[in-house]
Structure 1
Amino acid sequence: MSRSHALSRALVVPMALALTLALAAPGPAPAKVRTGPAGDAFYTPPSPLPGKSHGDLVWARKLTGAAVAPGASQTKLVLYRSTGVDGRPDAVSGIVSLPKGKAPKGGWPVVTYAHGTTGIADQCAPSRDAAGTPVHPYNAYVLPLLTRWLKAGYAVVRTDFEGLGTPGVHPYLVGSSEGRSTLDVVRAARQLDPRLSKTTIISGHSQGGHAALFAAALAPKWTPELKVRGTVAFAPASHLDEQIPLTTVLSQPGGGLSGLVSLITRGIATANPSLDTTADLTPAAAAFYPDTLTQCLPELAAATSFGGLAPKALFQPGTDFAAIAKLLDVQDPSHLKITSPLLIEQGAADTTVLPMFTDQLATELKAGGAKGLTYTKVAGVDHGGIVTAAAKDATTWIAKRLK
């Protein structure tokens, strides 16, 4: 054997052995997920709050019960780091549901869904939902839509929103808070399970439609790594600055409308602590105001609470709505710049989110640069019904964006 041949053999054998060992060695293991405590303790974050960035996962555990969407292979309750309305880190809860079967190459696309109004009290959070409670129908109506998306092969994640279920007061209809929660749950879900891809669809209904629009506008800078392919907003809330003053002419008991006005009042005050909204409430409304922190929307809409008051009886006569309207306008989605594809679905018979305001919203978003906006209005469909009536159309639209 020549010297050069012997030298080559001497080099090849160790290199082959090293390559064999490298191939046999396991790859880097995914970060270990801390198991969260059982019961309500899950929603109380450790102090100091773990993580370094918004979207970092705090802990998770298996979720069972009424909040689970049928058709998932597994569903986890998660607690994750986000950024509160005050700009400081906080913890937000949510739900991660995986489809059945094997993940495709590149991972499952993710639909992050923002829920409609349930209330501000902690028990109103969708992840805390329980069958037989007054708020259950306000959470359960969307489950068939989520199941449809799971069967289509998408992972579905849902945020409870800041302060809803977790410590603090939920800043109801404050867009930046909602949008951040809606995006950060995707980051948390991807830390929980590496089979989720960066490809993301944003969606939501009512309050959640409002949240979805803000999330779509925030995504390019807030979560730049996510590949947002489109947003589906069902009956998104808008133009509250124009509507709240109009309620003062309504003299009949307001039911759900009066309940919603109470939540809007609490939400804008939470985001703007210097605003003393209680000074503008009538004695009757002020007596019920603490209920916003302990009861969900069905109870607030009842005749024994805000629902028994006419909208006209909520605020003191002569209340100057200028300051409130200005703050509400800041939270209006009509000012957003959304460059990714957008679908808005609206029921023409909706008496909660009035079609005339969604018409106006669509026009304003297009003027603001939403060139990929499709606006669909469905005849004879009310507020809750749009989620069912437009489910097939929305799913087809999503599938085209994910090709």
Structure 2
Amino acid sequence: MGRFVVAAVAALSLLYVAVAGADEPSNAYYRTPSRLPGKRHGDVIRHKALGGEPAVAGAGRTQLVIYRTTDAAGRAVPASGVVSIPKGRTPKGGWPVITWAHGTSGIADQCAPSLDSATAAAHGYNAYIYPLFTRWLKAGYAIVRTDYQGLGTAGDHQYLIGASEGHSVLDMVRAARAALPGALSTNMVISGHSQGGHAALFAAAEAPKYTPELHLRGTVAYAPASHLDEQIPLTTSLTQPNAGLTALVATIGAGLEAAGRSAGVTPVLTPAGSGLVADARTQCLGTLAGTATTQNLTPASLFQQGASFTTLRRLLDAQDPTNLRIASRVRIEQGSADTTVIPLFTDDLAKTLTGRGTPLTYNKVAGIDHAGITSGAGATDGTKYIEKWMPGR
């Protein structure tokens, strides 16, 4: 594990930022009854036209959709998301679909990309991807974008919990097709960045059984998160202030707790660590980093000295995409200069999935950083891959 030490420090630094929120949605439109309408995952609860920042340039129509999905335990839960339809006449059979999984915008409800605005604290972490969406819309693809379960809608966001993410990504397609009859094809590509790259891979693994009526043409994962079971225990050696990393570790802990995995989290935390994990449920990473600074917390200070990480590592490993079996084609885009998702980890991920039989193309782009992989060469290569297997307009 020693070869990962240097990379782990960088990989966990400055992953993502967001804004404050709570379990109960602050926006009335996102609130749902405890007994959800509908009968199956992907059923629509409600939908309406949406304007503002989420209505990206190039879209002819934009809809906000509230829908049913299932969490990691298989329970019916609400989720929200955005449907963007290209301009022009709908082709026979509907527009081919790209279902997008977003990078981390936080655990709080206000972090949901469907609630984005020019003045939102998380705007930069949502808006960086809009140019790629515009490119895809102009090429003739409908884009559906889940907020994930627990972001915007009721409940805690099960952050980096693969099944929950994957279900949200797939059910968003079902819901969008039901909300806009005839507008969307059954042909889809799954794509996502960072946390969303992680989500995209889990969705690809789940798709054949979870949404068999949808035709998965391929998956493009940009800088997918992986190997947290290797990285988190190493943060116990980081005794110098690093507010962003400290907040991120607490957010990962909160994500595990939201999915009922607190048995692996609580025993290793100090009282200060437990407090910061609790704060992560209502504070996004930027605010949470400020809390860590105020309390003079470091990554190491979150954990009890000499604590056993056996259970925590097992829980994190269970959410690692290296364990997936994906039979459909996958392309991974990774920047060689990425200091957020370290290429060393993605190299290993690609090698492992290929060895397990996934028809995988791995494209490492020289000199590109974490956000940059979704623009420039990474965007071009990924788009060409999509066009090859699922032609657009």
Same fold (TM over 0.5): yes
1:91-148 deviation line (CA, Å, top 9, x unaligned): 1111111000012222100000000011101111111112222211111111111111
Deviation (angstroms), 1:365 = 0.3
The counterpart of 2:373, out of the listed 353, 378, 386, is 386
SS in 2 for 1:343: strand
Q: What does 1:4-403 align with in structure 2 at a 5 Å threshold? A: 40-193=27-180, 194-273=182-261, 275=263, 277-302=265-290, 305=293, 309-370=297-358, 372-389=359-376, 390-403=378-391
Partners in 2 of 1:157 and 1:109 — Cα distance?
Answer: 11
Partners in 2 of 1:305 and 1:43 — Cα distance?
Answer: 33
1:336-389 deviation line (CA, Å, top 9, x unaligned): 11111111011111111111010000000001110x211011122111111113
Partners in 1 of 2:295 and 2:183 — Cα distance?
Answer: 46
Q: Which is worse superposed, 216-225 or 248-257?
A: 248-257
1:155-200 deviation line (CA, Å, top 9, x unaligned): 0000011111111111100000000000000000001112200000
Deviation (angstroms), 1:283 = 3.3
The answer to whether the 8 Å contact 1:302/1:308 transfers is no
The answer to whether the 8 Å contact 1:69/1:146 transfers is yes
Partners in 1 of 2:156 and 2:364 — Cα distance?
Answer: 34
Unmatched tracts of structure 2, length 5 or more: 1-24
Deviation (angstroms), 1:311 = 1.6
Letter in 2 for 1:257: L
Provide closer, same or farther for how the CA distance between residues 305 and 114 of structure 1 changes in structure 2, counting only shifts above 3 A. Answer: farther
The answer to whether the 8 Å contact 1:285/1:306 transfers is no
Partners in 2 of 1:226 and 1:168 — Cα distance?
Answer: 28
Letter in 1 for 2:388: K
Provide closer, same or farther for how the CA distance between residues 376 and 324 of structure 1 changes in structure 2, counting only shifts above 3 A. Answer: same
Deviation (angstroms), 1:219 = 0.3
The answer to whether the 8 Å contact 1:134/1:299 transfers is no
Deviation (angstroms), 1:304 = 5.0
Provide closer, same or farther for how the CA distance between residues 300 and 88 of structure 1 changes in structure 2, counting only shifts above 3 A. Answer: same
Letter in 2 for 1:385: G
Deviation (angstroms), 1:251 = 2.4
SS in 2 for 1:82: strand
The answer to whether the 8 Å contact 2:43/2:68 transfers is yes
The answer to whether the 8 Å contact 1:58/1:80 transfers is yes
**After TM superposition, which residue ranges in structure 1, 4 or more long, deviate above 4 angstroms?**
303-308
Partners in 2 of 1:303 and 1:394 — Cα distance?
Answer: 38
Unmatched tracts of structure 1, length 5 or more: 1-37
Q: Which is worse superposed, 385-394 or 70-79?
A: 385-394
Provide closer, same or farther for how the CA distance between residues 291 and 310 of structure 1 changes in structure 2, counting only shifts above 3 A. Answer: same
Partners in 2 of 1:71 and 1:201 — Cα distance?
Answer: 19
1:205-248 deviation line (CA, Å, top 9, x unaligned): 00000000000000000000111000000000011111111111
Letter in 2 for 1:334: T
Letter in 2 for 1:186: V
The answer to whether the 8 Å contact 1:254/1:308 transfers is no
Deviation (angstroms), 1:307 = 9.9
SS in 1 for 2:59: coil
Greater RCO, 1 or 2 (C-alpha within 8 Å, sep 6+): 2
SS in 1 for 2:263: coil
SS in 2 for 1:287: helix
Letter in 2 for 1:243: Q
Instruction: Give 1 or 2 for the bigger CA radius of gyration.
Output: 1
Partners in 2 of 1:230 and 1:266 — Cα distance?
Answer: 32
TM-score by length of structure 2 reads 0.89
The answer to whether the 8 Å contact 1:300/1:306 transfers is no
Q: Which is worse superposed, 230-239 or 254-263?
A: 254-263
SS in 2 for 1:349: coil
Letter in 2 for 1:126: P
RMSD: 1.8
SS in 1 for 2:106: coil
